Structures are given as C-alpha cells and as structure tokens.
Structure 1
Amino acid sequence: MRFTPGLLDEIRARLPLSEIVARRVSWDRRKSQPARGDFWACCPFHQEKSPSFHVDDRRNRYKCFGCGASGDHFRFLTETEGLSFPEAVERLAEQAGVSLPAPDPQAAARAAERASLADICEMAARFFQDALAMSGGEEARSYVARRRLKPETLREFRIGFAPNGRDALKRHLLGKGVDEGAMVEAGLIIRPDDGRPTYDRFRNRLMIPIQDERGRVIAFGGRTLDPDGQPKYLNSPETPLFHKGTMVFNFHRAREPAHKSGQAIVVEGYMDAIAIWQAGMGNVVAALGTAFTEEQVGRLWRLAPEPVICFDGDAAGVSAAHRAVDRILPGLRSGYSFGFVFLPDGKDPDDLIAEGGVAAFARELAGAMPLIEVVWSREVDAARIDTPERRAALEKGLDDLVRTIADERVRRGYQLDIRLRLSNLFYRQARDRRMAGGGGRPGQGGERGGTQTPSGQARGGDLPDSSLFGNERTLCGLCLRYPDLLERHVERVSQARFGDTLHARFRDELCRIATELQDVPVSGFFETLDNRFYQILSEALDGGEVPGTAGARPAPRFSDLLQRLPILRHEPPADFVEDLFCHYLDTLEIRTLEQELEEEMGALGDGLDEAEWERVRAQSQDLARRREECARDEQDLAERARGLRNGRVAVTGTTGQGILSGTA
C-alpha cells in the first residue's frame, strides 16, 4: 500500500507526537513546556538518568541527544513496537480518524485474493483443531501429552491434527463452498500433474498454524506422527500469502515481550518455540528452515538488537550456525548483531526445561557466544598455520569475510579485532615452534623481548592493587573487547599517561596496530611487537597463559574483564559502554593534570610573579572542573548501571571503580 506525503502529514497533524510518545515515557516537568509543545524525558531507547530525549510537537519530531535516535510518529512505533511501516500508518490513521485511500484496482484484487486465502486457511485451522479432539486423533493427543503441552498452550497456538485420509480436509472445505482451485492456491491440497484427483497435502500430522504479524493463519507446519514418515516436518508451499524466506514463526506473540525485555530467542523448530513460550519466555521465535535469509535477519532485528540463536550442539547444529553467519555478516550495523548458543549434544530446549526448569535454559542463554567468536572458531579450527603461506591464507580468508560487512564502522571494528586475535595466534604458534626446537623462550635477552613481569619499581608509580592500576588494566581490557571504541578514541588512548610500564607498552603496540600497521598483514609484523604486549594479550584471549613469566611473581589476573566490570554481563547498550570507556580515560587524564600541577608547583620558587600565579590558578581551576565533571559522570554511570541491573542478578560495589565494576 502506498501512502502519499499529504496523507502522512494529515495523520501527524491530528495526533500530537507527544501523545504517542507519552505511552512509553514520563515527561520531565522541570524541562518540559507543554504550552509550547516542548517535551523532555529520559530516552526510551537507552538507559540514562538525565533527560536528553526531546519531543517537538511543532515540528513533529523527536530526537535523543544522548544516543542520536530520531524520527516521527511512524518511526517511533516501528522502533518501539516492531511494527512495519504500513502497520504503523494503519494504526495511527485509525486513532486519528483518517480514512486510508482505497488501493488501486490491481492491488485491491491482490488484497482480496490474499484475504480470501487467509479465510480458507482459517477454515483449515479450525478443521484441524476439531480433528485433534475427535475420534482418530488419539495418536496426536498422545504425542502432545508426551511433549508436555498444556491445554491452554494447545488453544493459544491452535494446534490440530490432519487425519490420515486422502481428502478429509478437501471434502470439508468443499462442503463450506470453497473452490478446489483456491485450496490449491492456499497450499492445502495438491493437484498431480498426471491428471489424478487432488488430495490433501497434510495427512496424519500434528498441525501447527503459521501466523503472520497480525495473527492471521497463512500457512501450516505439519509434524509426522508416523515413526518412519518423511519428511519429519512439512511446511506449506510458497503461496500469495506465505513466503517462507521472509517469515518467522511466533513473531506476532514475541514482538511485545521482546521489546520489553530487549532480547529475542531464536530456536530451530516450532515445538521448541512452543515449549519455551509455555515455560514463560514469550520472546521466542523459530526459523522456518535451516538457513536464514536476509529478510528474516532484518525481521529478527525488529524484535531486538542482538537476538540469541539456539542451535543443537551436534554437527548439524554447528553447520546451521555457520550458514547463518554468512547470511548475517553483510547486514551487520552499529548496535545490531547476534549471539549464538550451542546446546549440549542431544538436548533441545524442551529437554533442558523438563530437566532443570526454565532456569536451566536461561543459563545456556547467558553463555551465548558473540558472532565474532563463531566466525573466528569456524575459520581457525579448520586451518593449518604451520607455514607462512597457510598463515597468509587464514588471514586472507578472514579478511574476505569481514569485508562483506557493509557498515564501515562495524567492519573496521571487526578488522581490528581479527588482527589482534591473529597476532596472538601467530605469536603463540611461533613461540611453541621455537621452544620445541630448543630455542628457549622467544625474545629472551633483547630489549623488546623482556617478558618477565616487571617489578614494582619498573612498573611505574602505581602498585598492582591501586585504583589507578585497576583503571589502566580495565581500559586495556575495554580496548580489546570493544575495538571500535579504540578506533574512535585512539588519539586519547595513545596520549594517556599510564603509570604501569606493562600497560604503557601494551597500549603503545595496540595503538600501532590500529594506526600505522593497519594496512600491514599480521603475518608481516606480529614478531616485531614488544613481547610485553603479548603478556596482556595472551591473558585476555587465552585465559591467563602469560608467556615468559616462569619464576616471577604472577601479575594480577587480567583475563576476565567481567571480574572487573560485571555490569558487562548485563549487555549494556553501546552508548553506556562508550561513556564508561571515556570515564576511565577521564580518570587517567585527571591524574596527569594532578601530576603536571605538582611538577609546576615544585618548579616554582618562593616568590610567584603574577604570570606564574595566573598559570597555576588556571591549572587548578581546570583540574577542579574536570574532577567535578568526572564525579558527576561517575554518579550518572552508577545510576544507569543500577537501572541495567534492576530485576536481574544484583551486583554490589563501593568505591569509585567499584560502583561500576563490583570491585574495590
């Protein structure tokens, strides 16, 4: 359906934007001026304490000055409720009392045909539901009992049974006056090419209606009840109503729970989705095939920015995940990705829920692998890197994959992440090869090779248990976990004064990789990096293996960033993580200002002239201002962190670092 600009303007004119938005926010009375159509609130798209979300009724626009979200009436509904644009227009037109124009004759004919086919599918759904309760449906009822499906679940999903007869549904629909050709068009019966009579497509199957975003039945999935029956699951064919590559099972039910929770669960089959829904997790959908399409990926992102896809842990599940990766990568964009869960081999969600309740399934979801991990493991596990040529081939294969990502910011973040992983992988392989050859630990005896953990004096001004040492360590971890933030703030990171020598050398090499070495193949520079760089990199990527530290006092654990920042377990939004990243930079820059002021005061004599006094006063005022800003930011971050943890596992903390990280 096409909507003219004039029609959209009329809807906007009749419905104040503030009225639409007010259903999702509470206005800040101090900043808002209703008489002028000027409203402020905390943003519904990200966590914040101070209102930065602005609605202007005069311009019919909203904008968040924190996360950048902006749009009009229709965009707000599509973003907050997952509606398509035509659905948003239709809903607001009804509220505004605006009549929508009749479609053109051809479009009207197509719409009438689809409506007619939907009516036929609805008749079929009722027939199957009735058949489940009647004589002949005993085997189907036994199956749903074994799957522990409750009567209310059967009613909600309208589960039914297709009798084993050749044409039971056809005869029923003919009795309702439905044309045989329309049944074929709806995908309910099959017309053989050899001229034999038509017959039911679904026979002796448990029937699961497939519903569109409005809840209309448009197709069916049938699960065979014959132990030897093939295929196990049979879907309706492509019809004017049903396009398998664009549909997601249970989308219309999952839309609201997914938007409220900020998360969506994607499973492989209908029965898995139904079992999870029955267990109380309404934000679940199922794919309608083994491979995702670009349209399905986009539809899933309408539910949540990072849906979690659950696959069986067997070879078939891993293979399905790998196929999904290739579909997902090109469409990645800032703030949108996927997580992957591989269930224990032989277990499906229904099994986990039956054995350990919904908490057992939730634990599996909590361990979801980021998309980058799945890409990395797929390519590296199948590669050999024992020669320069093979290392180059692995690097090229990964680079070719990452280059399919259309969004430049996401692509650059992936490229830096992959280059860091390759640096560590190649370093470890070269180190192990040299050690096996009797060459000792790599880099021993040289300036760049000293990998012994530096002593307290060599580290610089901060001790390992000091707060600023922890800030430096955490900032290093954030650079690795969020390479896109390093890319955007590389100048500030490179200029920050680190008190710990190990941290400083790591930071220097990290910034080199992100800048001057960004066009150099990893295989060409990984052995030129300071070995102290790999001391932290290996801890972060390998879980604590630190090369060259035999006999030395172990460095404080770095590998698990989540120990320092457990708030990251709650998957905070990108703007929160970036604000947190900048806060740690601020703390280091304030320390630098303090040191510079101390040095300035120490260099001055007893008698200050006016110019010296003004310079010191200006430095003191700048330092005081930065301290105040940093304190306000810390308080704001702590409030936002509490909001993210609200209703989830509590995380405690005390000091400035601890408020956010849970560690003192």
Structure 2
Amino acid sequence: MSLPAGFLDELRARASIAQVAGRKVSWDQKKTNINKGDYWAPCPFHQEKTASFHVDDKKGFYYCFGCQAKGDALGFIKETENVSFMEAVEILAQECGMQIPAQDLKSKEFSKKQESLFDIIEEASKFYKTQLHNNNGNSAQDYLNKRNLTKDLQNHFEIGFAPNISNHLEKYLLAKNVPLQKMIDAGLVAKSDDGSQSYDRFRNRIMFPIKDFRGRTIAFGGRALDPKTPAKYINSPETILFDKGKTLYNYRLARNNLNKQNKLIVAEGYMDVIALNGGGFDTAVAPLGTAITEYQLRLLWRLTDEPIVALDGDKAGINAAMRAIDLALPILSIGKSLRFAMLPQGQDPDDIIQSQGAEKMKEIINNAVPMIDLLWQRELEVQTLDSPDRKAAFDASLKRITKRILEPSIRDHYFAAFKSKRAQLLKTSDLRTTRNRKGTSINAFATLGTKTSALASDSSNTRSIRETVILAILLSYPELIEEFSYHIEKMDWQNASYKELIKTLISLSDEQPSNIIDKLNESYQKQILIILNNPHAKISPALRKTGQKEIAIKTLKEEFMKLETYAGMQKEIRDAIDDLNSASGESLTWRLNQATKARTNAEKSTLDDIETAGEDKTAMTDFLQNLIDNEVWVKKNK
C-alpha cells in the first residue's frame, strides 16, 4: 500500500517515541531527564541489567549502545510486536487518532480479502470447538484425557475437533452465507482431482488453531485420531494469511510470557508445547511440522539470545538438531546462539512431566548443551582417529565447520574450543604445525593467540590513538557532534574508558555547543583534560591551531574512514591466516599483499598538511612480508 506524501512525517511528528517505548521498558529514573526528552532504560531487544537503551523523544528515535538496535516509533512497534510495516502504521495511527488515507483500489481489495478470510477461519474455529464438546467429539475427548490435556488447557489453546463427516464444515459455513471459493481460499475445503466434488480438508482430527503475531487465527493443525491414517499431523495449506515457514505455533503467547526468569523452549510439535505449558513451561513454541527455517530462527532470536531446542534423544531428534545447527552457523551473531536439551530416547515432554514431574523437565532444560558439543559429537561419530590420514580428515572437517561461521570473533572462539577438545582427545597441543625455513615450529592455523601478535597489538594501539584524536576534535568543536552523531553511534569503541563519556556526549548532541562542554565537565572534567592533552591529539592538524573547523571536519571524516578500513582489513588477514593450511602460495601472497595495500592506502592522508603521528607505519607491513618470505603456508620437510 502506498501512502500520500507527508502522511508518515505527520504521524512521526505526532507520535511520542518515549510513550510508545514506555509500554515495553521501565525508564531508569537516575539517567532519564523527562524535561529534555532524554530517556534511558535496559534494552528490550537483548537481556541486560544496565540502562544502555536510549530514547531521544525530541528527535523521535531510539538507539541501544549494547546491541546497536535503532529506529523510530514505527520501527519500535514493528520489532517488538512482530508486525509488518503497514500494521505498525495502523497501530501508531490509531494511538495518535489519525485516519489512514484511502488505499489504492488493488491494495484495498487485497486487504478486504484478507479480512474476510480472517472472519471465515475464526468461524471455523468456533465450529471445531463446538464439535469437541458435543457427541461428535467423544472419541476426541477420550484421547485428550489420556494425554492429560485438562479443560483449562483445551480452552487456553482453543482446541477443537473436526468430525469424520465429509462436508460438515462446508455445510455449516454455507449456512452462514460463506461462498465455497472463500472456504477453499482459507484452506478449509478442498476439491477432488477432477473438480467435481468438494470436501472438508480436516476430518476426524483434533484441531489446533495456529495464530499470527497479533493473536488472529490464520490456519489449523490437525492430529489424526485413527492410528491407521497415513498422515498423523497435517497443517492448512499456505494461503494469503499463512506461511508455515514464517510461523511458529504459540509464538504470541510465549512472547508475552517470556521474561528473564524463564527460557524460550523450541519443542517438536503442538502436543509438546501444550504438555510443557501444562507443566508450567509457558514459553514453548514449535515449528509447523517441518525443519526450522532461517526466518523462524531469526524470530526466536528476537525474543531471546539462546533459545533451547528440546528434542527426542533418538536418531531423528539428533538429525533435527544438526539441521538446526547447520542452518544457524552462517548467521550466528555475537550473543545469539542455540542450546539443546536432549530428552531421553522415546520420551516426549508429557511422558517426562507425568512420570518424573516438572522438576525433572526443568533439570533437563537447565542442562541444555551448547551447539559446539553436538558438533563435536557428530564429527567424532563419523571419524575413527586411528591413522594420520584419518586425523587429518578430522582436522579438515573441524575447519570446514568453523569456516562456515561468518562472524570473525565467534569463528575464532569455535576454533579455539575445537582445538582444546582435540588436544584433550589426542593429548597434543596443536591441530597442526609446520616449520619455516629456519626449522622453527610454527602454528599453521589462526587462533585466538593471533590477537596478541605484533599485528593485532599494533592495530589495537593505532585504533586507540585514532579514538582519542576523534574525541579530542569533537570536544574542541562540539558543534560537530550532531553532524557526526551517526558515525559516533555506529562505531565500535574499543577503549572501554570512553564509553560512558560517549553515551553522555551523544545524549547532549542537540544542546548548544557551549552547554555541551559545560555539562560534560560536570562529570568528566579530568578525563576530558587527559584526552585534550594527549600528545597524539595535540599534534593533529585540526588541533594545532584554533578555528580550524574545516580541517576538523575533513580530519573526522578521514579518521572514521580509516577505522572502517582497518576493520575490513583485519577480517581479511584473519581469513588469510586461517587459510594457511590449504591456500596456494600465490593465492595467499596476493591476499596478504592486498591487506598490506589496504593499510598503506588508509594511512595516506587526503589532506596535504595532515600527518598521523604516533603510528608505526611499517610494523604491519614487516609482519606480513615476513609471513610471505618464510612461506609459512608451505609444509616443510623436517
């Protein structure tokens, strides 16, 4: 749907981001200044105790200094309510008392069709619930009683029953003046192959309503009562309302119940979710009969950093866990992962809760293992390490796993963990070593130790200097803070001692420049003096003389650009060193030379009179050239 020009601007102007966010967070009374529209709270997007989530009500945006989440009121509603952009517009417009302009004809017809299907599916849900509680549902009630699904649980999950009658629902809806084609569009009725007859899609099945993020029924899952039925579980077909790869059963209720004291559990199916709920675990969800998708995984990570996947400990359960891990590896981000609670073989959550109690289930959940443990177990099971060749194949398989992880720091930690596990297994300290021309043994893999090498130390020192220069310029020219606020917020500040100062600096960006310095001096006067008197800062071209605003702007742009270049360069170096075992000499030489050129180019100032002081410009080049000269990627004979 397209909206008239200016509508969204007016909506954002009317909305209070503090009021919108205030429904989801508790403001920190010490840091919040309501009169200035400056609000702070623990972040709703990741678990934390400190108030690093910042809302600027005057500017209408939010930013988290912990997880870097940012946006406006519409973005906040979209993320926290898990709705589409247009749904967020509808919610905010209603709160602000604004009427959404008329849609174009095509969009209006589509929305009208969606609404009519919602009504039809809701009517079907009422029908199924009625059938469960009349004579048609006796067999279904017997089954539910055997599975310990109490009346309260049945009502909570709105469970129903589809009788074993070919056109029962169809006739009911026809009596409600629902056209047959609408029933087909909603996934409730199907036609025979030749199109001559129609029939209810669900028959002799216990019915589980599937709801969207706003609590509206969009589809059904059906569990067959007859054990001879080929398909034990079936779902509604995909419709304009329902995409099973983008939906999780019980997601909305689990989201509402989730807090820091409980954990998000991913179960195998509807019955497991309901059984867990009956045992007091009301934050369980389930994929809809298929392996978990990337979209569903990202939905889970919106709610919590480490969802716990609870699966049967049999071969099928292990395979399902491995599929989830293989899906997760390339999209892992810092703080986001999975843990796995493997149930005793042949038992589901209901079996455990009924036979051993909810405490036993809680123990299993609390003892969930990280992804790396299952990966290690899988690789051990397929390899017999009784020869050098097989050990080499085992090493290669571990390396293939780590290379699939795109986030560099996570990849480093996985590699270090694999190395430690292998050392314990084979009583050796390295996955593989080789020797340079001098006969000295060296490690042919990049490990966490790389971070303390001359290369890493040099880059770390250089970055600290650049951060100090940037802060010194901003403190000397506070009128530039607002202009560079995006870069300041985006930047991953390495010097921990600067972080509180930077938070305060950003929160004051809309103040008068003179007021900014006065207020900063109230809390950070000593630190500011240290920064301004730093020898590297004092010889920066922008600070040698006063009144050099134009040079200050150019210097800031250049310093931010250099830091971004360093980040990309270090990633390339990590990847190149990580490939020492397999890359050809020509390929690796080219990659290392490219990284060297990147640093050299980054060090070249675009200002004729700017010289970056205090940097060892040759240390990194010498280090890389030493790698090339010694051809450390080539295995040498002892």
Q: Indicate the TM-score class for this superposition, using the shorter chain for normalisation.
A: 0.5 to 0.7
Q: Is the 8 A contact 1:40 1:53 kept in 2?
A: yes
CA offset at residue 249 of structure 1? 0.6
1:328 maps to 328
CA distance in 2, matches of 1:103, 1:315: 52
CA offset at residue 68 of structure 1? 4.2
Question: Is the alpha carbon distance of 1:51 and 1:140 closer, same or farther for their aligned partners in structure 2, counting shifts above 3 Å?
Answer: closer
1:215 maps to 215
2:141 maps to 141
CA offset at residue 260 of structure 1? 5.5
2:186 maps to 186
1:410 maps to 410
Q: Does 1:88 align with 2:88?
A: yes
1:128 maps to 128
1:372 maps to 372
1:246 maps to 246
1:109 maps to 109
Q: Does 1:279 align with 2:279?
A: yes
1:506 maps to none
Q: Is the 8 A contact 1:211 1:249 kept in 2?
A: yes
Q: Is the 8 A contact 1:268 1:311 kept in 2?
A: yes
2:174 maps to 174
Question: Is the alpha carbon distance of 1:351 and 1:407 closer, same or farther for their aligned partners in structure 2, counting shifts above 3 Å?
Answer: same
CA offset at residue 39 of structure 1? 3.0
Q: Is the 8 A contact 2:11 2:98 kept in 1?
A: yes
Could you say what secondary structure the match of 1:231 adopts?
coil
Amino acid corresponding to residue 22 of structure 2 in structure 1: A
The Cα offsets for residues 495-547 of structure 1, whole Å up to 9 and x where unpaired, read as 9xxxxxxxxxxxxxxxxxx999744449xxxxxxxxxxxxxxxxxxxxxxxxx
Matched residue count: 456
Q: Does 1:165 align with 2:160?
A: no
Q: Is the 8 A contact 1:163 1:204 kept in 2?
A: yes
CA offset at residue 145 of structure 1? 0.9
1:59 maps to 59
Length-normalised TM-score, structure 1: 0.62
2:492 maps to none
2:202 maps to 202
Amino acid corresponding to residue 343 of structure 2 in structure 1: L
Question: Is the alpha carbon distance of 1:174 and 1:44 closer, same or farther for their aligned partners in structure 2, counting shifts above 3 Å?
Answer: closer
CA distance in 2, matches of 1:163, 1:110: 32
Q: Is the 8 A contact 1:159 1:208 kept in 2?
A: yes
CA distance in 1, matches of 2:265, 2:292: 14
2:311 maps to 311
CA distance in 2, matches of 1:7, 1:333: 36
Amino acid corresponding to residue 279 of structure 1 in structure 2: G
1:15 maps to 15
Question: Is the alpha carbon distance of 1:181 and 1:192 closer, same or farther for their aligned partners in structure 2, counting shifts above 3 Å?
Answer: same
2:224 maps to 224
Question: Is the alpha carbon distance of 1:241 and 1:252 closer, same or farther for their aligned partners in structure 2, counting shifts above 3 Å?
Answer: same
CA offset at residue 290 of structure 1? 3.5
CA distance in 2, matches of 1:290, 1:183: 25
CA distance in 2, matches of 1:484, 1:257: 41
Larger deviation, residues 324-333 vs 142-151:
324-333
Q: Does 1:34 align with 2:34?
A: yes
CA offset at residue 325 of structure 1? 1.8
Q: Is the 8 A contact 1:37 1:56 kept in 2?
A: yes
Name the % identity: 43
Matches within 5 A, 1:576-595: none
Q: Is the 8 A contact 1:81 1:259 kept in 2?
A: no
CA distance in 2, matches of 1:246, 1:97: 31
1:389 maps to 389
CA distance in 2, matches of 1:146, 1:65: 51
Could you say what secondary structure the match of 1:207 adopts?
strand
Matches within 5 A, 1:225-624: 225-258=225-258, 261=261, 263-427=263-427, 518-521=578-581
CA offset at residue 175 of structure 1? 1.7
Question: Is the alpha carbon distance of 1:301 and 1:387 closer, same or farther for their aligned partners in structure 2, counting shifts above 3 Å?
Answer: same
CA distance in 1, matches of 2:195, 2:22: 61
Gaps of 5+ in 1: 432-447, 449-482, 496-513, 523-664
Amino acid corresponding to residue 416 of structure 2 in structure 1: L
CA distance in 1, matches of 2:236, 2:42: 46
CA offset at residue 368 of structure 1? 0.8
Question: Is the alpha carbon distance of 1:8 and 1:202 closer, same or farther for their aligned partners in structure 2, counting shifts above 3 Å?
Answer: same
Could you say what secondary structure the match of 1:178 adopts?
coil
Amino acid corresponding to residue 245 of structure 2 in structure 1: G
CA offset at residue 36 of structure 1? 2.3
CA distance in 1, matches of 2:317, 2:231: 18
CA distance in 1, matches of 2:186, 2:224: 20
Gaps of 5+ in 2: 432-440, 459-573, 583-638
The Cα offsets for residues 386-419 of structure 1, whole Å up to 9 and x where unpaired, read as 3333223233333333333333433343333334
CA distance in 2, matches of 1:58, 1:386: 68
2:594 maps to none
CA distance in 2, matches of 1:104, 1:288: 35
2:473 maps to none
The Cα offsets for residues 58-78 of structure 1, whole Å up to 9 and x where unpaired, read as 222333445544433234345
Q: Is the 8 A contact 1:81 1:256 kept in 2?
A: no
Length-normalised TM-score, structure 2: 0.64
CA distance in 1, matches of 2:290, 2:342: 15
CA distance in 1, matches of 2:273, 2:411: 33
CA offset at residue 138 of structure 1? 0.8
Larger deviation, residues 147-156 vs 247-256:
147-156
Q: Is the 8 A contact 2:169 2:200 kept in 1?
A: yes
Amino acid corresponding to residue 347 of structure 2 in structure 1: K
Question: Is the alpha carbon distance of 1:61 and 1:389 closer, same or farther for their aligned partners in structure 2, counting shifts above 3 Å?
Answer: same
Could you say what secondary structure the match of 1:136 adopts?
helix
Amino acid corresponding to residue 223 of structure 2 in structure 1: R
Amino acid corresponding to residue 349 of structure 2 in structure 1: P
CA distance in 2, matches of 1:165, 1:349: 32
CA offset at residue 226 of structure 1? 1.1
CA distance in 2, matches of 1:378, 1:359: 29
Amino acid corresponding to residue 74 of structure 1 in structure 2: L
Amino acid corresponding to residue 393 of structure 1 in structure 2: A
Amino acid corresponding to residue 172 of structure 2 in structure 1: H
Amino acid corresponding to residue 219 of structure 2 in structure 1: A
Larger deviation, residues 348-357 vs 71-80:
71-80
